[in-house]
Amino acid sequence: MHSIAPYELRISDADLPKERRYCPMNNIRGRRLSDILKKFIEEYSQEFTQIHDSNITKSFLFSDCTTTKNEVYGFTETGHSGIKGRIISTSENKEKFAYNKDDANTSRKFFYISYSDTNEYATVHLHQINTMGAKTSILQLLIAYIQREVSEKLSISMLPLTFKTALKQWSEHSIVKEIRGIVHREGSDDKFDDLRQSHRIEVICKPHKRGGNFGFLRNLDTQQASMLVAYEELEPAQTKVKVELNGKSKILSVASDRTPICTIDFTEHDVNMPDGEPEIESIREFCQNLITQMGDQG
């Protein structure tokens, strides 16, 4: 349900020579990245901003944000309108209230940005809930802001990291203990009666031999892993692996290609989550530990 997706943010300047077009994070047209982000966040912390995208309107707001010299973190509040629905109490199995197509049902998602002054990139960790995050909204608003307030000649990229980049030790040395697939099924077949309300089925494959494994993560063929957890005619919408290293385990989401994109699942065992929402200092520490495992953030 909860996961962290790491990205690498770079800012290029069209007026710089091609071989050094990326800006150091402490000199973006004479400004530090944290100073730019502080003003950017302040602008979008006053009230919800509506972002129109096709037939859906996204609502966006920054909240509880902190900016220091080399890190920026806090929460985004995001949701979308365009579809009417109901909020149901699962404990009472009753409707709490309804919302129409002009209302947005928002949730808070954590973000963490850190960098070294002389690096030409920043590391961005974005919280996702059920694979849904705020990357597109953040990037869309940030591009417009930085080109308006700093220079139209600046461009921003925010590319997802692979396991090899984001978790070097785990990528090279961890063992795959389970392969999991999330499949979605519509319909009312009898064998799906117990699952029909969610239509979300998790298929878990374990080695036949007790205590066995599927080999090293570095050797994982994610296309074959995806096929392994296919259920009947259904291919998984998401493939995950449980890996172990030095007695510790992680649940990682992988893309269905040979260069897995890094997404790290976490639970209340990893991060304090009263009422289901990560506690800010706890999830900040979790992200800092991930950066330590990257081994390249000064």
List the pLDDT tens digit at each of the 298 positions of the chain. 799 999 999 999 999 998 889 999 999 999 999 999 999 999 999 999 998 877 778 899 999 999 998 999 999 999 888 778 888 888 888 888 888 888 888 899 999 999 998 899 999 999 998 878 899 999 999 999 999 999 999 999 998 886 556 566 777 778 888 888 777 665 544 444 444 444 567 788 888 888 888 888 777 776 666 666 666 555 666 678 888 887 778 787 776 554 455 788 898 999 999 888 999 999 999 999 888 876 544 3
Closest to 101 in 3D by CA, of 79, 73, 119: 79
Both structure tokens of 272: 């304090």
Would you say 44 and 60 are in contact if contact means Cβ atoms under 8 Å apart? yes
The residues pairing with 81 across neighbouring beta strands, listed in sequence order, are 57
**42-to-37, 61, 68, 207 alpha-carbon distances in Å:** 8, 10, 14, 51
Q: Beta-carbon neighbour count of residue 121 at 10 Å?
A: 22
Residue ranges per structural domain of the chain: 2-161, 166-261
The Cα angle at residue 174 between residues 169 and 178, in degrees rounded to 5 = 145
Round to whole Å and give the CA distance between 164 and 6: 12
Quick check: 63 and 75 in contact, CB under 8 A? Answer: yes
